[in-house]
Structure 1
Amino acid sequence: MNIISGVSQQSMEVLVVAALASPFGRLVAVAVAESGAPDWHVVSLSSLRPSTVCTAAEGIGSCTGTGRVHRCCHAVPRRTVTGPTPYTARSPTLTDATNAAQQASKGSMHYLPAHWATASLGTNNYVVTVGLGTPARYFTVELDIGSDLSWVQCSPCTRSRCYKQKDPLFNPSTSATYSTVPCGARECREIDDSQGRRRCSSGSSSSSRCPFEAVYADGSRIDGVLARDTLTLTTSPSDTIPGFVLGCGHNNSGFFGTEDGLIGLGRKSLSLSSQAASARSSSYGPSFSYCLPSLSSGAGYLALGGGASPANAQFTAMVPNHDWPAQYFVRLVGIKVAGELVKIPAASMMPPRRDLRRGVGGVFVFAGGATVELDFIGVMVGMGSDEPSVACLAFTSTGDDKPFGILGSQQQKTFAVVYDVANQRMGFGAKGCP
């Protein structure tokens, strides 16, 4: 997930939470040297590795639903650059993922274990397993906060038209609940609002099936038809969304590793969170939360529903942005390092913002007083092996052509991140998962 920033008229930074696997994110090593004699500070990386034990947020109750046992994530790079191998640690079990989700909130919550794919899927993205069709077949799909339309690769699809994925393609003919969405349907028209484009020709009848294409910022693209089918989130019979609208991709290419597809969690009507909230007899609500584990062996979660938030969560108001209607914006008002606010001139918040591009770490202060304190994991990335001897600053430029910066998933690891859509606020709770 990424937070993308633009600039308000008051010269305060506005951050938007975009994709978990951002179409904008790029990770590079950054080295800065000042003139004169070098001043080196050597710190043992072994002393900075994350704890193998997670201290869960306090004051949390239970959640409903039973998480499906997540299969071993499957190998190759998606929209973000494939990252380094994370530090080794104890491998958390499904129970750890369950406990982490239960720590996240209480009430009417429905959760899925989430994992950092890394080498297992050849991608640096976070994934969950969902079921599709009747009877349900299970697929490992990427979580994407920066888009709305969900999709899977579907047969028929020749090898030259579909990228190689770990599992067999979804075959619509084997599902008793599959149907295509016609060009005249509201959902087909809403494709244009979900970072996709419908391709119904002027001569198409309203009953013709709705073709679409989705093109991401890194050049990845999906071509197919819009469809409906039953989406299964957990093994509980109540955790299904009948008539879930998604893309059935027949001509796909890009940096997806061997993922089976993508789940969109953006703000528009075709996202998973929006469809779950509007489903008939829905118990989900429009809010959701997640925690991104810091290790590929770690146990994170995606939780749908509007239960209580972690006791240690700090909230800041969401900020509307008509230029980016699918994104979640919040306002950044300051950055602290060693407990002191960094004196960053207002002009440095404007493009080209070179100071921020060199990578400022520490504590991010949001409107309303919410803070996100970054430890070593949130600022530096170990390179090369499970026992890295080199660490690089996890900040880079978004380019002069984009009026925003990105605070990426590296900074949000281990935080419980709450999207309280009903109350238009966003929360951060430290130590939400390993």
Structure 2
Amino acid sequence: MSHFFIVSLVTLFFLCFLEKRFANETTWEERYHLVSISSLLPSSSCSFTKGPKRKASLDVVPKHGPCSQLNNNGKASILPTHSDILSLDKERVNYIHSKLSSDNLPAIYGNLIGTGNYFVVVGLGTPKRNLSLVFDTGSDLTWTQCQPCARPCYTQQDEIFDPSKSTSYCNISCTSSDCTQLISSTGMDPPTCYPLTKACKYGMVYGDGSFSEGYFSRERLTVTPTDAIDGFFLGCGENNQGLFGMSAGILGLGRHPISFVQQTAKKYNKIFSYCLPSTSSVVGHLTFGATDNYKVANNTVKYTPLSTISRSNSFYGLDIVGISIAKTKLSISSSIFSSGGAIIDSGTVITRLPPSTYASLRNAFRKEMAKYPAASGFSILDTCYDLRGRNNVVVPKISFVFGGGVTVELGAHGVLFTVSSRQVCLAFAANRDDSDITIFGNVQQRTLEVVYDVGGGKIGFGPNGCK
């Protein structure tokens, strides 16, 4: 055997060894997140990301945390516990399921439970007054509390808006065709009138008993110093009570013609995007219009077609095909999602899956996490771990496969819900029945760039959206 042949053979074996080793390392990185325990816990101080400047963009601030201004200035506010948040989340999900599965709902009007987790600051009126509004992709009507309150309004951080001090405010007549928009957006049929002024009256009752009612009106809405919308339809609430925290109301980003997205169609082309931050001590963004930021990032933003939810004109539907964990596809039928359908919702915290699908995901997750000590379940979460005394944790990556063959890998913070270092839980829960609609919640959306191209009929997902 020649020396040259031996050298070639040894070289070939060495290259194969390196290739195999590299492949194994790549496979590990593709299958798992290495997560520091400290990154799962919110800091006591706020961290603003220093990403590229976006033109029509607002800071997305977690409602409860060091970045929020809703708990400052000496105004009393009791922060909700993790148990409170998940309990309210359960009520929201129950109401969504009731709304979408029954033709005989209770005789109340309104779309959703008012338990938004994130808010943005917009300007209202001329001169403008800054207001902190919870933004919600499942709500249509934008509303805020207004002076004078016919009955006691709930406590909010910002000064309550006074329409009498704005030169651009006007009420809508109850005989106007604009008033009839309230029928499908709030459930009021027919719209009601104030008897003395003949002004159009709106009413929103949410699934948790929270409500807002008042004048349906038009006003100047300022998004940024260079972007304002004149004659914007909104609710000016004179009677408001409920679990809205210290926010001044709701910014509705649903699909109905009365929503912000549809009212600003000519300006922003029915396109908006957001990134929900990893913890309550980090700020994200809500951006309107097709900015250069994700045009440039189109190679990393993957788009899937929006599906139609026949039972609602508010929600954004998704076509979920499958789920994988640690690069292994779960043994579930793709038809399991088509029977109940699926939506993406910024206001639901924990993703809800068909029970059979959740059981398959949970069992696979438990197998991957077997080396970590189990902790007791928490509220609706039944798979938790005690990670005290550890610096890092290895977490299996979870990916969703959507229509069009699009695979979206969740960020590390989209897999876990952290109560404390002694109770870190799988951030998914089961629906009551396989026929219930699947809800892709906001924990799973954390750190992703989520792009809604409503006019184009598609929704996109990209990594590292908050940077």
1:269 corresponds in structure 2 to 257
Q: Which amino acid counterpart does residue 47 of structure 2 have in structure 1?
A: P
Cα distance change of structure 1 residues 49 and 195 upon mapping to structure 2, 3 Å threshold? farther
- The partner residue of 2:424 within 373, 388, 391 is 391
Q: Which amino acid counterpart does residue 333 of structure 1 have in structure 2?
A: V
- CA drift of 1:306 comes to 2.7
Aligned 1:11-410 pairs, distance under 5 A = 47-50=36-39, 86-88=41-43, 91-93=46-48, 96=49, 99-100=51-52, 102=54, 109-119=55-65, 120=68, 121=70, 122=79, 125-157=117-149, 161-197=152-188, 200-201=191-192, 208-236=198-226, 239-278=227-266, 282=267, 284-307=268-291, 309=294, 310-311=297-298, 312-345=300-333, 349=337, 353-358=354-359, 362-384=398-420, 388-400=421-433, 403-410=436-443
- The partner residue of 1:421 within 424, 440, 454 is 454
Query: In the aligned structure 2, how far is the partner of 1:208 from the partner of 1:247?
Result: 16
- CA drift of 1:47 comes to 2.6
Query: In the aligned structure 2, how far is the partner of 1:323 from the partner of 1:148?
Result: 15
Asked which structure has the greater CA Rg, the reply is 2
Query: In the aligned structure 1, how far is the partner of 2:157 from the partner of 2:434?
Result: 36
Cα distance change of structure 1 residues 413 and 222 upon mapping to structure 2, 3 Å threshold? same
Cα distance change of structure 1 residues 253 and 45 upon mapping to structure 2, 3 Å threshold? farther
Normalising by structure 1, we get a TM-score of: 0.71
Query: In the aligned structure 1, how far is the partner of 2:259 from the partner of 2:358?
Result: 31
- CA drift of 1:221 comes to 1.4
Contact 2:355 2:431 in 1 (8 A): no
Contact 2:35 2:412 in 1 (8 A): no
Query: In the aligned structure 2, how far is the partner of 1:135 from the partner of 1:408?
Result: 37
Q: Which amino acid counterpart does residue 228 of structure 1 have in structure 2?
A: R
Query: In the aligned structure 2, how far is the partner of 1:330 from the partner of 1:277?
Result: 22
Query: In the aligned structure 1, how far is the partner of 2:430 from the partner of 2:260?
Result: 30
Query: In the aligned structure 2, how far is the partner of 1:199 from the partner of 1:250?
Result: 20
Q: Secondary structure at the match of 1:118?
A: coil
Query: In the aligned structure 2, how far is the partner of 1:250 from the partner of 1:199?
Result: 20
- CA drift of 1:380 comes to 1.2
Q: Secondary structure at the match of 2:204?
A: strand
Query: In the aligned structure 1, how far is the partner of 2:430 from the partner of 2:60?
Result: 28
Provide Cα deviations, 1:326-377, integer angstroms capped at 9, x if missing partner.
1111201111111121111467545793223446571100011222212431
Larger helix percent: 2
Query: In the aligned structure 1, how far is the partner of 2:457 from the partner of 2:169?
Result: 34
Contact 2:204 2:213 in 1 (8 A): yes
- CA drift of 1:203 comes to 11
Cα distance change of structure 1 residues 227 and 202 upon mapping to structure 2, 3 Å threshold? closer
Contact 1:265 1:271 in 2 (8 A): yes
- CA drift of 1:199 comes to 5.8
Q: Which amino acid counterpart does residue 88 of structure 1 have in structure 2?
A: S
Q: Which has the higher contact order (CA 8 A, sep 6+)?
A: 1
Cα distance change of structure 1 residues 194 and 49 upon mapping to structure 2, 3 Å threshold? farther
Provide Cα deviations, 1:283-304, integer angstroms capped at 9, x if missing partner.
x221111111112232211111
Query: In the aligned structure 2, how far is the partner of 1:88 from the partner of 1:363?
Result: 28
Identity rate, percent: 36
Query: In the aligned structure 1, how far is the partner of 2:117 from the partner of 2:411?
Result: 21
Q: Which amino acid counterpart does residue 43 of structure 2 have in structure 1?
A: T
Q: Secondary structure at the match of 1:190?
A: helix
Query: In the aligned structure 2, how far is the partner of 1:181 from the partner of 1:402?
Result: 41
- CA drift of 1:262 comes to 0.7
Provide Cα deviations, 1:119-146, integer angstroms capped at 9, x if missing partner.
4444761111000000000011101000
- CA drift of 1:407 comes to 2.0
Contact 1:195 1:214 in 2 (8 A): yes
Normalising by structure 2, we get a TM-score of: 0.66
Instruction: Give the 4+ runs in structure 1 shifted more than 6 A.
Output: 43-46, 202-205
Query: In the aligned structure 2, how far is the partner of 1:190 from the partner of 1:137?
Result: 26
- CA RMSD, Structure 1 to Structure 2 (Å): 2.9
Contact 1:198 1:211 in 2 (8 A): no
Give the unaligned 5+ runs of structure 2.
Answer: 1-31, 71-78, 81-115, 341-352, 366-397
**How many aligned residue pairs are there?**
338
Q: Secondary structure at the match of 1:319?
A: coil
Q: Which amino acid counterpart does residue 179 of structure 1 have in structure 2?
A: C
